[in-house]
Structure 1
Amino acid sequence: MTEVVSLEEDMSETPQAESGKRPSASPPTLNLKRLRGPDLTVALVSKFPPSIGGEAEYFYSLATSISKISPAFAVANYETKAKLLESSDKLRIFRVWRLNSLTYPLRILRACLSLKPRLIHANHEYMLYGRPAYGALFPLLLLLLRLTRTPIILTMHSVVPRGSLKTDFFRRYGWERLASIWGLCFMIWTRLTLRLSAHVIVHSQASKTLLCCEYGCRSDKISVIGHGVATFPITNQSRAKELLKFGDRPVVLQFGFLHEKKGTESLLRALGIVVKNHPSALLVVVGGPHVSYRNDPASFREFVSRLTSLVKQNGLDNNVVIRTEYVPDELAPIYFASADIVALPYIEHFGASGVLARAMAMGNAVVATRVNPFFETIDDGVTGILVERNNETELADAIDEMLSDSKLREALGRNLKASASKLSWQNVARQHLELYSQISEYDSKLHY
């Protein structure tokens, strides 16, 4: 039976709110000592659903998969509207900290001191723990967790090349002024984060190379474990298009949080070329605003305005659907089932791609740019087609070729799905458990 511990139950320090009164904004405190058990071995620290974001979904999937093989528990964020999450009876979820809170390092430390795990596995992504000012406290969290004398493993979903630490990078977080100083601070912050971790997991060899060459991390301290690929119920394509009101038109899908770095503008220009041979082609762009727009909604509106202007300039009013909304998990597979092609024309990307993982699971034909991790995951011409970024002509040619040849699309999708077997969540969980075992066995010899 599922055991999920939320902050509405088992509270030791904060009384229940009186009926009809609004509860306190700060989360109550769990009586963690009473809940401690001998089977709790690995603590997975991360934001968890219902919080929105690929990193939250990733760690929840990882924790659930690990718990099917070995006991585990999660030290997760608290949300007043959090629903009870389904998991195996070996996974316990303790909701003890809040996003955008100065106290989250102390609350996570308290939980780990009480639960006494043999290993702590922390999830890392920029703004995972809140806005940049709060995310900057992440090295403090690692420093405090070292007080538990427990090995700390870190998963880094994104690794930013030094050459990308420019004004454009910091503009998305509202820090474009003094970009050179922020770049130096970012390098120091990342090096400190790596220094405080016993071991680091990344999702691609390119990310590992960056950590070694540009951040000075030892190679033997880094493991490459691919992004897990889930299984989804397969919906008939015609039925999916009917449900989404796409008719029988060929669909090119760009899915995920919207941001200018994902190359949507290049994709629209490429579509202007594609429709000359495929006038019924439909580009579907769907996803909510990227987290970096959270503090600057005006920039997101300006970005969407640029997209709609490009649609009009290229005469694509009948060929483009833009839905700026977050797609719930139960609806996402229907979008992928409707797609003849999944497009990933990213201009810049720093690590794992949950969208590619979904396309692999669904067996979609994929066209992507040669950025990390696509050039490692996709075998050009076999499991997908790779093009140069910001090259609308090459992108248009690839889409045109794929739309013109259904057998090519089927072969690419079939091969991509076959390549995903080694990245099933069961296999990914086993790779993590093997690493946990190695680090736990030699924790006395770890070199931080």
Structure 2
Amino acid sequence: MGSAMRVLMVSTYPPQRCGIAEYTRALVRELSGRYGVSVVVFAEKRSWTRTLVALDGRALVVRGWSRRGRIDLLRALRLLASFKPDIIHIQHEYGLFKSRLAFTLGLLFLKLLGFKIVVTLHTVCDVLQMAKRGISPTWDKIISRLADAAIVHTIRSAKLLRAYGWDKNRCTVIRHGASETDGITDLSGREKVDVLFIGFITPRKGVDLVIDALSRLRDDGVDNWTFTVAGFPHPASLERDLPYLRRVLRKIAESRLGEKVRLIIEYLSYEKMEKLLKEADIVVLPYRELHGASGILRLVAAHGKAVVVSDVGEFSEEIRDMVNGLVFKPGDIEELADKLKLAILDDSLRNKLGQELYRTIAARNTWRNVAKLTVEVYERVLYGH
């Protein structure tokens, strides 16, 4: 592939706090730095946005749309006319484009102008979950008619898209990328084992289950641990999830675990997450549901930490119990307590699980490899091979 390929990436972008924003930045840096792709990011504009046009490495970032459907049409048209992208690559999540009509009309407009469109669907829900979110399966069917190719992160997502009418030849599974780190830190022999929950605090991520499980361990005399809760509700769902955060804090206060729990209730920078992961012995991801890829799982894998996960979504595809992690039935507090006890009491098991997690996820799914596979999708769309 020559350096002439031009990609217009439509996405959220840092400093916006969002997993898709971080995903896009990591991908863009590899595409523009290693593969010579010319990338312009057409990013979401928020109320706090001060700079509408900026450089990030070799990529130009232009802010001009909002998730409510408002778009700086003049800026968008000028961008299309001046940049003349070969590919328009949209990073999609159901909550990111709340105006279905505006998004559909935008896709149709781009298609009529003759642009090639690739959509990464970070979340793909089954019919039941779509109904809970107030979304019709017709939404994915519309995208399938207008996009030239789709990228998803899990096998389950690919199967769902095919059920919604996608041609399997236009749908590619590319696992979420994992960042390079300074290596695995061996924390064996510490007096207290640090159990970490990290990420956005929302009911579906189930941090309340860990409080109940650790309370059981303490009642059983397993006391050589501390529990760190680090994160905050997602900015886009703050009003909805703040009551849950208050319930979690109240549960901690009522559990008499106060002195064993460290609370870091804030939006976490990437650097802060890296620091917390280096300090952790065990990371627990007790999600009640998961409909796409977990960026946090990649960070955990990159640091080679032992992970305890629920048997949902991508975790079911990626984590094998007692091989590269510990797996429990979603919502089963007793089994979660048993898995945590196993990891807390066995240094050698934690090290083995962490090393295997690094080998099976982080080493195989580098951002370099993600970018390479993404370029292959672009080439198939443009050149048919």
Q: For residues 367 and 236 of structure 1, do their structure 2 counterparts lie closer, same or farther at Cα, with a shift above 3 Å needed?
A: closer
Q: Give distance in 2, aligned partners of 1:146 and 1:83.
A: 26
3-state DSSP class of the match of 1:228? coil
- In the alignment, structure 1 segments of 5+ residues that lack a partner are 1-37, 171-181, 239-246, 444-448
Counterpart AA for 2:380: Q
Q: Structure 2 length normalisation: TM-score?
A: 0.90
The share of aligned pairs that are identical, in percent, is: 30
Q: Give distance in 1, aligned partners of 2:295 and 2:77.
A: 29
Following TM superposition, by how much is the alpha carbon of 1:418 offset from its aligned partner in structure 2, in angstroms?
1.2
3-state DSSP class of the match of 1:103? coil
Following TM superposition, by how much is the alpha carbon of 1:260 offset from its aligned partner in structure 2, in angstroms?
0.4
Q: Give distance in 2, aligned partners of 1:277 and 1:207.
A: 42
Q: Give distance in 2, aligned partners of 1:85 and 1:192.
A: 34
Q: Is 2:36 aligned against 1:70?
A: yes
Deviates more, 1:410-419 or 1:309-318: 309-318
Q: Is 2:45 aligned against 1:80?
A: no
Following TM superposition, by how much is the alpha carbon of 1:149 offset from its aligned partner in structure 2, in angstroms?
0.8
Q: Deviations over 1:114-172 (max 9, x none)?
A: 3111111111012325xx3x465222221121133121000000011112234xx44xx
Determine the structure 2 residue equivalent to 1:158.
123
Alignment of 1:122-141 (within 5 A): 122-129=90-97, 132=98, 134=99, 137-141=102-106
Determine the structure 1 residue equivalent to 2:306.
365
Q: Is 2:169 aligned against 1:228?
A: no
Q: Structure 1 length normalisation: TM-score?
A: 0.78
- Which residue of the other structure, out of 134, 143, 152, is the alignment partner of 1:193? 143
Decide which structure has the larger Cα Rg and report it: 1
Following TM superposition, by how much is the alpha carbon of 1:86 offset from its aligned partner in structure 2, in angstroms?
4.0
Alignment of 1:256-335 (within 5 A): 256-275=199-218, 276-294=220-238, 296=239, 299-335=240-276
Deviates more, 1:99-108 or 1:382-391: 99-108
Q: For residues 108 and 373 of structure 1, do their structure 2 counterparts lie closer, same or farther at Cα, with a shift above 3 Å needed?
A: farther
Q: Is 2:12 aligned against 1:42?
A: no
Q: Give distance in 2, aligned partners of 1:57 and 1:371.
A: 23
Equivalent pairs, count? 374
Question: For the aligned residues, what is the CA RMSD?
Answer: 2.4
Q: Give distance in 2, aligned partners of 1:326 and 1:348.
A: 22
Determine the structure 2 residue equivalent to 1:204.
154
- In the alignment, structure 2 segments of 5+ residues that lack a partner are none
- Higher strand proportion (structure 1 or 2): 2
3-state DSSP class of the match of 1:373? helix
Q: Give distance in 2, aligned partners of 1:409 and 1:122.
A: 39
Following TM superposition, by how much is the alpha carbon of 1:277 offset from its aligned partner in structure 2, in angstroms?
3.5
Q: Give distance in 2, aligned partners of 1:142 and 1:191.
A: 13
**1:272·1:316 contact (CA, 8 Å) conserved in 2?**
yes
Deviates more, 1:218-227 or 1:143-152: 143-152
Q: Give distance in 2, aligned partners of 1:119 and 1:259.
A: 35
- Which residue of the other structure, out of 250, 257, 261, is the alignment partner of 2:193? 250
**2:227·2:260 contact (CA, 8 Å) conserved in 1?**
yes
3-state DSSP class of the match of 1:423? coil
Determine the structure 1 residue equivalent to 2:84.
116
Q: Give distance in 2, aligned partners of 1:256 and 1:65.
A: 25
Q: Is 2:114 aligned against 1:149?
A: yes
